Structure 1
Amino acid sequence: MSNVEVQPLTESGTGEIVAPCCPPLTERPMSAEEASVAAPMFKALGDPVRLRLFSAVASHEGSEACVCDISDVGVSQPTVSHHLKKLKEAGLLTSERRGTWVYYRVAPSVMASMAQSFAAFGS
């Protein structure tokens, strides 16, 4: 067992306490249910284009970006749309259509939850 003290997670900007997807990896083995929640997220981020798109959204001002601002990742627009769809299906992004553009945002608690999973490795 780890001696790392787990702090409550808070959502950036709102300060709202959120539940992590899974415990820190060094705390205890994941249950089958926890692994089934976390695995699709990590699988989706295992593709370099998806990781770049997720990073582009997460690092954009307000953690929200128009598809027109993040589509320059070296693949066609239909491929960008496919990858963004996969990130949404994995629960990593949410989207909202505004006029002709779609805006993507990192899903609530995703960054804090993923960071929590790996927090003990930085100690």
Structure 2
Amino acid sequence: MTDTIEAKNLEAKNPDARTSNMQTHSALPPEETDRLAGEIVAALKTVFDPEIPADIYELGLIYKVDIKDDRTVDVEMTLTTPNCPAAGELPTMVENAIASVPGVGVVNINLIWEPPWTPDRMTDEARLVLNMW
């Protein structure tokens, strides 16, 4: 089974959303999945698009994170545009950030384009940083 973080700016919209949007059929203890989820989100917030002064999590580029029973982490993410100059490096940066979390196994990044990213996915924090009020 897996624990899933539906990552549309979870704690920015609702501090309890991270755990409420996770599947609970995991063999991992709940406190371990909570720890992993929190540390994965924190790791994602260290990754910045080189051209935008906001982290990829606040930008809404992370669509889903699945934490599997064997600690494999599958990520669905997108970019602001298919022509993004950082397309070659951002997925690797995300993979490396998540892999640095203690207890995480293999990290698989799946770059997706549906649904397409829009500025509506950004948190208020990202809007403030980008002066998009």
TM norm structure 2: 0.31
- The structure that has the greater radius of gyration is 1
Compare the two structures and name the one with the higher helix fraction.
1
Higher relative contact order (CA 8 A, sep 6+): 1
